[in-house]
Structure formats: structure tokens, C-alpha cells
A = this chain, B = another copy of it.
Amino acid sequence: MDPDMDAVFRALADPTRRSILDALFDHDGQTVQALCNRSPEMTRFGVMKHLAVLEAANLVTTKRVGRTKQHFLNPVPIGEIADRWISKYAQPFTRGMVDLRHDLERGPSRANTA
């Protein structure tokens, strides 16, 4: 197994980190402080450690802006584990595709775009 993939899996194992990804999904480019305000039960240092793990897994990228640091969600690694590992097991996606095919075969031009 790709060591990068392992880092992604381990990064996703923590609920706080998944919550951070959700927050960035909701509003990209947030600073450390903004992310800290979302989790008052943890200190800034705890949040920073989680951010470091997410960065190491390449799930978030950063950009220094003055004395602040903006954080951006990078969904690519999630897509990779979905394509290269999860798709092997997850029929639901296959089911979704089969449903889509079914729709398309009945009338391609009217297929649902979602």
C-alpha cells in the first residue's frame, strides 16, 4: 500500500480532523484562529497539531497571508482512496452508476445530472 494513502487513512481516523475538513468544506481559507473558535473544547495547540497531520496527508494546503495562515481543503487524496481502495468494496457507488446507466438507457438526454 502506498504510504501516502496510509497517511490519509490515519488522518481521517480522528473525528476532530474530519470535523476540520467539514469546516473547510463549508468555508475555505480559514485561519487557525477561525478553526479554533469552532472547537472551544480544545486549545489552539491541539487544533494546530491536527492541522499538521492533515497537511502531512496533503488533505489541506496553506497560504501565508501576513501574520495569518489560510487553510484550504484538498479533496484529491480522498478521491484517490475512494478510487483506489474503497471502490473495490463499495457497491453503493456501483449501484449509483448502474442506476444512472438504467436512466440513460431509457433516455440519455433526460438523465439526472446529480
Q: Which positions 45-78 of chain A face chain B at CB distance < 8 Å?
A: 73, 75, 78
The reply to whether A93 and B93 form a contact with Cβ atoms under 8 Å apart is yes
Which of A1, A9, A19 has most chain B Cβ within 10 Å?
A9
Tell me the chain A residues, 80-97 only, with Cβ under 8 Å from chain B: 80-83, 85-93, 96-97
A86–B91 CB distance below 8 A = no
Choice from B21, B75, B91, B97 contacting A79 with Cβ under 8 Å: B91
- A residues with a Cβ closer than 8 A to B are 1, 6, 9-10, 12-13, 15, 18-19, 21, 25, 73, 75, 78-83, 85-93, 96-97, 100-101, 104-105, 108, 111
